[in-house]
Each structure stands twice: as structure tokens, then as C-alpha cells.
């Protein structure tokens, strides 16, 4: 049966593909309007190895600085999630040499105090908000750093659930803080030390250890293919 | 027409649809539907593998060609090792990190080598959650039966039993490392219901489950100072005189040099195959999902299982063009999001298994009840605003922040506008055959995660992969480590390659490609 023509989405960009001029790390190239920054690089013939990961907006590998036509403001984006427009210029950000503290998360005695040993620069935040402006995930990074310092680990862990660890908040920090690494430590500490242990989980682990399901396993694993299929069909 | 005009049918029919219940298909109807519409049954896309351990078995042409491909390594290559280790883990996704952490914790010298950066993988993208039977009304046995039913009764029973029984302990391990799973008011783990499951069993971290788990595991790998080789792509395995695995050769992607690692055992955790774009499908997979592990183990004589079946996730984005193939999480359907054709009708129970839902979407589109975009793509609506209508305003934003953000970037507010979707190539159901310790038929060669096969049968239930990674990552890591003390480093040879080449020559060397692929060739093609 033919598709009714009324059910067609007309996308102007596909009907009349328009070429736009963009600048990749200083070099001008023509690419179709609306493709993502990463696809524009491929289109321009660049092989990208560093700077491409998940292609889905989750891994933070494609951290990119860009500027749009005539606007002096340098912005940040994830190259796999951002469409190019005429006059845009961009360049990928290499991994920034931030210092990551190493710790044994389970052995921490006083995680809230330990924060100041691992990241002594954290309390020096000067409230400039540059980190928040740099974050492509729209996290209120500055607020997060403050909350971490004031020991509100729970809020920090919720706020940074969207953090893809792209690191774009780090090079802009005038106090040399790596906010994402601070938040990562805080979130892990929140999970390992300040979150209730789920009782039901321990019960289930014990049930398995005590062989509570052994009889059922024995019965099932002895079934013929047909019996097992019939049995599966009864599970609702 | 304007997309907003076409979306009206979804808004107009919402109230009527909300009253409707759509029964699941009977098993005969399911079978018929799948045979007619599922891409796994498109005979023209398949051919038999010409030689090797799976000679005569059918798989998709794209994979068969790579499996029969030639190695980039010469038979007489210099095998002087650059590194020596007890356990070599190849792949830096969830399975690789879990394997490395457990091998390291068990006291083995461990190297983790990966193609891109640590963590750049499919694992980081998992949104829907991780199945573990923690609810009181649930049990590992029920988890087993649900999975078996979803897998068309073809799952390896031993692997499956181990997975469902190890699950709760895995949840505990992750919690101790600081993973923040969603909780109920009473502090217990919150569980959601996934497609094809009879009980709520999905542990989630909002819709960032994979990201949260990977942030923590990556951090832990670095904290434990496990030796890392990044931008190192495995291009050949090494075998000793007895045929056991004894290491691997990598290509350093920065300078193209070869790096030889001698190891007492090797754990391959190289993930799936989406970037082969089987049958021309778009994919939800990461840049490095090119099936390298299958080629490497196959050349070494490892047997593959179920490599004729793939998972096409029902909901890949079709619009806007920038998001083609990107995943629209199954969580939306779990919470009641309905699938709607161009006529404003529902056509399948949204919580049926993925193969059934995908097949039914393909049916709607092939029979002319889809919505087409000018770029020639076709899809059906997923009624996302329904969630706000059903559970209160703000539900979509609160439960699916990642998806909201993804579409917002292109001016689409999914809490107000339905999204257009079509199946996307998502998962490799089969892979290298393993035993319950994750070992292949090649001694000291372990395979964990998506690269392995057998566990999921012919169709994987949502959320079972994250558990698979952790369980078999752990088992491979522990088994490899426990062996390290008692075995000697095997000789480094390419005997298996010589054998493979002889086989290939006998069969006319028809493939004509070099494998593994390493990265897809998108340059200039704009994929
Ligand atoms: C978008 C998306 C959403 C998903 N959602 C869910 C979900 O909600 N729940 C669920 O259970 N499952 C989900 N899955 C499936 C699941 O995430 C994957 O199956 C799983 O993460 C695979 O893990 P892995 O460790 O085996 O492979 P990956 O995580 O893909 O890791 C493979 C690693 O191997 C590396 N590698 C590949 N080739 C080589 C080579 N030659 N040399 C060196 N390294 C190499 C890669 O770079 C990568 O680091 C989802 C998958 C996708 C794509
Ligand atoms: S908080 Fe920092 S690292 Fe995280 S997403 Fe925002 S800019 Fe990137
Ligand atoms: S950039 Fe640094 S100093 Fe400025 S607000 Fe952020 S953390 Fe504070
Ligand atoms: S490639 Fe992973 S976020 Fe862009």
C-alpha cells in the first residue's frame, strides 16, 4: 500500500540542502547546514580518533569550543550533539591536565573532612561562575562546588548525575579547581557512606546463599524443553 | 507537512488511547510477525561462513566478510614483548573495567588496553537500567524464566543461572563503590518494570545508569592504578605451542606502531558490532563498536554462538536528522509511553519483547501507516507527552533528563511533542561461546560482555546486558587471576594465524578485507 503523501514531514534542510561555510581549527570548509560538528569534520575529510567516543552525548570525549558568526563569545558544546551553522568556527578541546586525587573510597573515615585533603583548592572557589557557563550539560557547577565544600553531598550527587566528565569546567576555573573531579569524589562518598543500605538486597543475597531457591532450580533444570516452555508461559 | 501539524494526530487521539489496553500477541502471532518483519529473517542479508570453527553457519554478510578477513600482521612479525603481565584485559567498557578491577583485587598484575579512551564504549550510554531480582515478590528463578522466554528458549541455561544468581551480590559491590541507584522511600532499591519482564526488576540511576556506573568504575580503575594502554587497538592475539592464548598485538593509534603484550591470560571485552551498520541500519552504538573481538577470537579458533541474530531496538530517533539512530530509552515505554501510527492508532503492546515491538513498527511502516521524513526515513510516533498527562506535569523532565536535553538541543520539547522513532541496530545477541567462568574453547582466552554469546539466546531482554557485563567481567577476572600463579607465561607465536591463512587459501581468500575494522570509515562519507 502506498504511503499517503500527507504523512510526510518536510524538512527545509533536506528539501533544499544548503551549504554553509564553517571554520575548523582555523581552516574554512563548506559543509551541509545542520549536520553535527563531528559529522562536519568527517565531511571535511578529517579522521577523528581523539575526540570521538559514544556519539550519543554521554562520554564527554567530544568537548569542543565554538563561536558563532560575529559573536565574540566562545561557547562550549559536545561535538556529537551540536549542529553546525553558517559562520561557525570551532576547535576540539584536548584533555586538560587536571589533577585527580586517588583514594580508597571504602576506607574513608571522615569523607566530608577528607574532601579538603584530596582537593584543598575546593574551598578557594571565587564564585566567578565560569564553570557553570562552560558546562554543556547545563549543570550549576559553581553551586555544586559550594555545596560540596559545605558538606551537602546529597545535593551534589543529584546535581552532577548529568556530568559526562568532558572536563570543560576545569580550564576556566580561576581557582584551579577541577569541579567535575570534586563532584565525582563527593558522589561516590555519598553513595558509599551516606546512603542507607538497602535491607531487601541483603535479604535476597542471604536467601540465595542459604539455598532458598534450590528446590525450584532442581525442578526447572530437569524439565524437558517442552515442559520448560510451557512453564515459562505461565509466568505472569 | 510541518512536523507539528503531523503530531496533532497524537495529541487528538491521546485521551481515547489512554482507555485502551492492547493484549500481548499469542505465541503463534508473535512468531508469524517476527518471521515476516524482523530483519533477522531477511534471508538475502545472510550467507554461510566459509571456513573456521563456524564453517557453514549463517551470519550477516557484513560479519561473515570480516570473520574471513586477513590479519594485518605478517606470519613472521617480531614478537618481542613491550609489556608482560598476568592478566591482559582488552576493552575499556563495563565488562573490561569489571574484569580488570576483580583481577587486580585478586592480586594479579593487570593491564587494561582499549581502543579509544578508558570508558568510551556502549556501556556509558546505557539508560534503561540493570536487571537484578531484588524485589520481595521477585526471585532469581523468575528472572531466569523471563529471560529464557525473551530469548526464545535458546539461552545457555548454565550461563543464565549464574547471571541471575550472582546479580544481587553485584548490586552490593556497586553500591559499596558508591554507585547511586535510585531508592524507594524506605531505602530499598527502586525497581522498574522492563519490556518482557513479569516483575519490576530494573535498577536505575535516573536515565544515566550506564554513565553513573562507568563514572565510578573508571574512577576506581584509576584509583587502583591499574596500568592503562589507551588508543591501543588489539589487532591480533598470540598463541603458545599448545594453542592456548598467550597475549596480543596492538596498534597504537597515535603512531601506528605495533605493541606486543605477553600475558598468561587474555580477557576480551571488546563489545558489539553496531558500527557495521548491518543491512544499512543506523545504530545506537559507540564509534568503536566494530566487532573486533569476534574476528580476533575466531582466527584463534574460538567458536561463536548465535551470530545470526541481532537486536534492533524499537525506538531509535528518526527526526531530527542529527539524532538518527540515537536511542530513545525503553524507559519511556516502561512508564506507559504509547506507540502510535500515522492514523493515530496503537498497534502493539508497548511492553512486549523488543523483537516483537520492532517487527510491529516495521510492519506499520511497510504497510503505509508510518510517517516519512523528506530525507526518506520513516517511523511511527512515540507519545512522550502522555507520561506528563498520566503521571503529572514534569514527569518526563524528572525521569528522563538525558533525553530531554538531547532533543532540546534541536528545539524539540519531548514533554510536549511526541518523537518519531524506528528500530535502530542496537545489540549483538550472539558472540564468542563461553563457559560459566567466561572462558572460550581456546585455553586462557576469556570473553566477557557483549562480545560473548549464548547467554541471551536469540533476543536480549532490556537491562540484562549491564548485569551480564558485571557478572562475567567479574568471573573472567577472578578465574584469570586465580590461574596466574600456577601457569607459566606461554610462548608468543602466531601459529594460529598460519593455520587460519592456510584455511583461507584453501577457500580462495575471497574476503579481500583486512580485519578487525578498528574504526568505521566515515571520513567524507558523513555516516
Ligand atoms: C545506547 C545504548 C543504550 C543501552 N542501554 C542499556 C540498558 O539500559 N541496560 C542494559 O543492560 N544494556 C543496555 N545497552 C547494552 C549495553 O550497554 C552494552 O551491551 C554493554 O554496555 C556492552 O558492554 P561491553 O563492556 O561488553 O562493551 P562496551 O561497553 O561497548 O566496551 C567495549 C570496549 O572495547 C573497546 N574495544 C573495541 N574493540 C577494541 C580493540 N580492537 N582493541 C581494544 N579495545 C577495543 C571499545 O573501545 C570499548 O572501550 C545499551 C547499549 C547502547 C548502545
Ligand atoms: S560538570 Fe564539568 S565535566 Fe561535568 S559535564 Fe559539566 S563541564 Fe563537563
Ligand atoms: S570556575 Fe572555579 S572559582 Fe569560578 S565558580 Fe567555578 S569553581 Fe568557583
Ligand atoms: S562522542 Fe561521546 S559525548 Fe560526544
Mean pLDDT computed over A161-177:
97
pLDDT exceeds 80 at position B169: yes
Checking if the pLDDT of A52 tops 60, the result is yes
What does the block give as the cell for B480? 584469570
* Tally: H helices and E strands in chain B: 15, 19
Q: Which of the given ranges, A69-83, B289-303, B372-386, has the highest pLDDT on average?
A: B289-303
Residue among B179, B211, B407 with most chain A CBs within 10 A, to mutate: B211
Asked if pLDDT for residue B337 goes beyond 50, the answer is yes
Residue B347: is its pLDDT beyond 50?
A: yes
Model confidence pLDDT, tens digit, residues B131-165: 999 999 999 999 999 999 999 999 999 999 999 99
Pairwise CA distance, residues B500 & A206, whole Å: 48
* Residues of B noted as catalytic: 313, 333
Give me the sign of the Cα torsion angle A181, A182, A185, A190.
negative
Measure A122 CA to ligand 3 centroid, in angstroms.
9
Q: Is B78 on the interface with A (CB under 8 A)?
A: no
The reply to whether the predicted model has a pTM over 0.90 is yes
Residue B368, chain A, CB below 8 Å: the answer is yes
Atom 5 of ligand 2, nearest CA residue: A163
B242: pLDDT strictly greater than 90 = yes
Mean pLDDT value across residues A144-169: 97
Give the residue among B455, B491, B446, B495 at the shortest CA–CA distance from B299: B495
Residue range B101-127, pLDDT digits in tens: 999 999 999 999 999 999 999 999 998
Please answer yes or no on whether B125 and A54 come within 8 Å at the CB atom.
yes
pLDDT bucket at B388, cuts 50 / 70 / 90? very high
Q: How far is the CA of A148 from the centre of ligand 3 (A)?
A: 13
Quote the pLDDT of residue B353.
Answer: 85
* Complex prediction ipTM: 0.95
pLDDT score at B158: 97
Return phi, psi of residue B151, to 5°.
-85, 15
Q: How much is the average pLDDT of A40-55?
A: 92
Contact B492, B360 (CB under 8 A): no
Whole-angstrom Cα distance, residue B318 to residue B341? 14
Query: Which band of pLDDT confidence, cut at 50, 70 and 90, is reported for residue A14?
Result: low
For residue A12, the model assigns a pLDDT of 61
Whole-number Å distance between alpha carbons of B312 and B285? 11
Q: How far is B496 from chain A (nearest CA, A)?
A: 30
Mean pLDDT of chain B: 94
Please, what's the b/e burial string for B206-244 (b: 16 or more CB within 10 A of its CB; e: otherwise)?
Answer: bbbbbbbbbbbbbbbbebeebebbbbbbbbbbbbbeebb
B4–chain A Cβ distance below 8 A for any pair = no
The chain A residue lying nearest B521, using CA atoms, is: A47
3-state secondary structure B321-388: HHHCCCECCCHHHHCCCEEECCCCCCCCCCCCCHHHHHHHHHHHHHCCCCEEECCCCEEEEEECHHHH
Distance B122 CA to ligand 1 centre (A): 3
pLDDT for residue A13 is more than 80: no
Share of chain B above pLDDT 70, in %: 99
pLDDT category of residue A1 using cuts at 50, 70 and 90: very low
Is the minimum distance from the CB of A176 to ligand 3 under 6 angstroms? no
A3, A213, A221 member nearest B368 (Cβ): A3
The pLDDT value given to residue B511: 81
Ligand 1 centroid to residue B466 C-alpha, Å: 9
Ligand 3 neighbourhood includes A179 CB (under 6 angstroms): yes
CB contact under 8 A, B171 and A188: no
The C-alpha of A136 sits at a distance from chain B's nearest C-alpha, in angstroms, of 10
Q: Does B1 touch chain A (CB under 8 A)?
A: yes
Mean pLDDT of chain A, nearest integer: 93
Looking at beta carbons, which residues of chain B come within 8 Å of A204? 133-134, 168
For ligand 4, mutation pick of A48, A53, A83, A93 (most atoms within 8 Å of CB):
A53
Q: Which of A11-20, A77-86, B13-22, B81-90 has the lowest mean pLDDT?
A: A11-20
CA B153 to chain centre: 20
Local structure of B78: helix, strand or coil: coil
The confidence band for B523, taking pLDDT boundaries of 50, 70 and 90, is confident
Q: How far apart are CA B459 and CA B428, in angstroms?
A: 9
Amino acid at each position: 500500500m502506498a504511503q499517503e503523501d500527507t504523512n510526510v514531514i518536510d524538512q527545509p534542510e533536506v528539501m533544499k540542502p544548503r551549504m554553509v561555510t564553517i571554520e575548523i581549527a582555523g581552516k574554512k570548509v563548506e559543509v551541509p547546514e545542520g549536520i553535527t560538528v563531528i559529522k562536519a569534520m568527517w565531511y571535511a575529510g578529517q579522521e577523528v580518533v581523539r575526540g570521538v567516543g559514544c556519539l550519543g552525548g554521554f562520554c564527554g570525549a567530544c568537548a569542543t569550543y565554538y563561536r558563532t558568526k560575529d559573536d565574540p563569545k566562545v561557547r562550549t558544546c559536545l561535538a556529537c550533539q551540536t549542529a553546525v551553522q553558517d559562520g561557525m568556527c570551532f576547535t576540539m578541546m584536548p584533555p586538560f591536565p587536571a589533577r585527580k586525587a586517588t583514594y580508597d573510597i571504602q576506607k574513608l573515615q571522615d569523607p566530608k573532612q577528607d574532601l579538603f585533603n584530596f582537593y584543598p583548592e575546593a574551598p578557594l572557589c571565587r564564585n566567578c561562575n565560569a564553570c557553570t557557563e562552560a558546562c554543556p550539560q547545563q549543570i550549576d557547577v559553581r553551586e555544586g562546588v559550594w555545596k560540596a565544600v559545605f558538606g551537602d553531598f546529597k545535593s551534589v550527587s543529584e546535581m552532577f548525575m548529568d556530568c559526562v566528565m568532558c572536563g570543560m569546567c576545569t580550564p576556566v576555573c580561576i581557582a584551579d579547581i577541577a569541579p567535575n573531579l570534586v563532584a565525582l569524589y563527593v558522589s561516590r562518598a555519598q553513595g558509599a557512606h551516606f546512603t542507607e543500605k538497602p535491607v531487601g538486597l541483603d535479604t535476597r543475597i542471604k536467601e540465595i546463599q542459604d539455598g532458598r531457591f534450590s528446590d525450584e532450580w532442581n525442578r526447572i533444570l530437569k524439565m524437558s524443553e517442552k515442559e520448560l516452555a510451557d512453564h515459562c508461559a505461565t509466568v505472569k | 507537512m510541518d512536523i507539528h501539524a503531523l503530531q496533532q494526530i497524537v495529541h487528538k487521539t491521546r485521551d481515547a488511547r489512554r482507555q485502551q489496553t492492547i493484549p500481548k500477541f499469542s505465541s503463534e502471532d508473535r512468531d508469524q510477525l517476527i518471521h515476516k518483519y524482523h530483519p533477522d529473517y531477511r534471508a538475502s542479508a545472510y550467507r554461510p561462513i566459509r571456513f573456521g570453527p563456524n564453517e557453514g553457519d549463517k551470519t550477516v554478510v557484513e560479519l561473515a566478510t570480516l570473520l574471513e578477513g586477513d590479519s594485518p600482521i605478517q606470519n613472521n612479525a617480531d614478537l618481542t614483548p613491550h609489556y608482560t603481565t598476568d592478566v591482559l584485559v582488552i576493552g575499556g567498557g563495563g565488562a573490561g573495567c569489571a574484569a580488570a578491577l576483580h583481577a587486580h583485587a585478586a592480586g594479579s598484575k593487570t593491564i587494561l588496553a582499549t581502543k579509544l579512551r578508558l570508558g568510551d564504549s556502549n556501556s556509558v550510554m546505557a539508560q534503561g537500567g540493570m536487571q537484578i531480582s531484588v524485589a520481595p515478590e521477585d526471585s532469581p528463578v523468575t528472572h531466569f524464566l523471563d529471560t529464557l522466554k525473551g530469548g526464545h528458549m535458546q539461552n545457555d541455561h548454565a550461563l543464565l543461572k549464574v547471571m541471575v544468581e550472582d546479580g544481587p551480590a553485584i548490586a552490593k559491590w556497586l553500591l559499596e563503590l558508591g554507585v547511586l541507584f535510585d531508592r524507594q522511600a524506605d531505602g530499598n532499591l527502586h525497581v522498574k518494570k522492563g519490556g518482557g519482564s513479569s516483575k519490576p526488576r530494573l535498577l536505575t540511576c535516573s536515565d544515566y545508569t550506564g554513565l553513573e556506573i562507568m563514572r565510578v568504575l573508571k574512577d576506581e580503575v584509576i584509583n587502583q592504578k591499574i596500568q592503562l594502554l589507551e588508543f591501543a587497538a588489539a589487532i591480533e592475539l598470540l598463541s603458545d605451542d599448545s594453542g592456548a592464548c598467550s597475549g596480543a598485538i596492538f596498534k597504537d593509534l597515535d603512531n601506528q606502531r605495533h605493541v606486543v603484550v605477553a600475558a598468561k591470560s587474555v580477557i576480551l571485552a571488546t563489545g558489539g558490532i553496531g558500527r557495521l551498520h548491518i543491512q544499512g541500519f543506523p545504530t545506537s552504538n559507540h564509534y568503536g563498536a566494530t566487532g573486533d573481538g569476534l574476528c580476533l577470537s575466531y582466527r584463534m579458533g574460538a567458536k561463536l554462538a548465535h551470530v545470526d541474530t541481532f537486536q534492533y531496538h524499537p525506538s531509535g530517533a528518526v527526526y531530527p536528522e542529527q539524532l538518527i539512530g540515537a536511542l530513545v530509552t525503553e524507559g519511556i515505554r516502561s512508564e506507559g509511553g504509547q506507540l502510535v501510527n500515522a492514523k493515530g492508532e496503537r498497534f502493539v503492546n508497548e511492553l512486549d519483547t523488543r523483537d516483537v515491538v520492532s517487527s510491529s513498527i516495521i510492519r506499520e511502516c511497510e504497510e503505509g501507516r508510518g510517517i516519512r521524513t523528506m530525507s526518506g526515513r520513516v517511523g511511527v510516533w512515540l507519545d512522550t507527552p502522555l507520561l506528563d498527562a498520566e503521571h503529572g506535569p514534569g514527569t518526563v523532565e524528572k525521569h528522563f533528563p538525558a533525553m530531554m536535553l538531547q532533543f532540546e538541543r534541536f528545539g524539540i520539547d519531548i514533554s510536549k511533542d511526541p518523537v518519531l522513532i524506528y528500530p535502530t541496530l542496537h545489540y549483538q545477541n550472539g558472540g564468542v561461546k563461553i563457559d560459566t567462568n567466561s572462558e572460550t574453547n581456546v585455553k586462557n582466552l576469556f570473553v566477557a560482555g557483549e562480545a560473548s554469546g549464548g547467554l541471551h539466546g536469540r533476543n536480549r531482554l532490556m537491562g540484562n546486558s549491564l548485569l551480564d557485563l558485571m557478572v562475567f567481567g567479574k568471573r573472567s577476572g577472578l578465574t584469570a587471576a586465580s590461574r596466574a600463579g600456577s601457569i607459566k607465561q606461554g610462548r608468543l607465536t602466531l601459529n594460529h594465524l598460519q593455520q587460519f591463512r592456510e584455511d583461507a587459501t584453501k577457500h580462495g581468500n575471497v574476503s579481500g578485507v583486512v580485519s578487525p575494522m578498528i574504526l568505521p570509515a566515515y571520513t567524507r562519507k558523513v555516516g
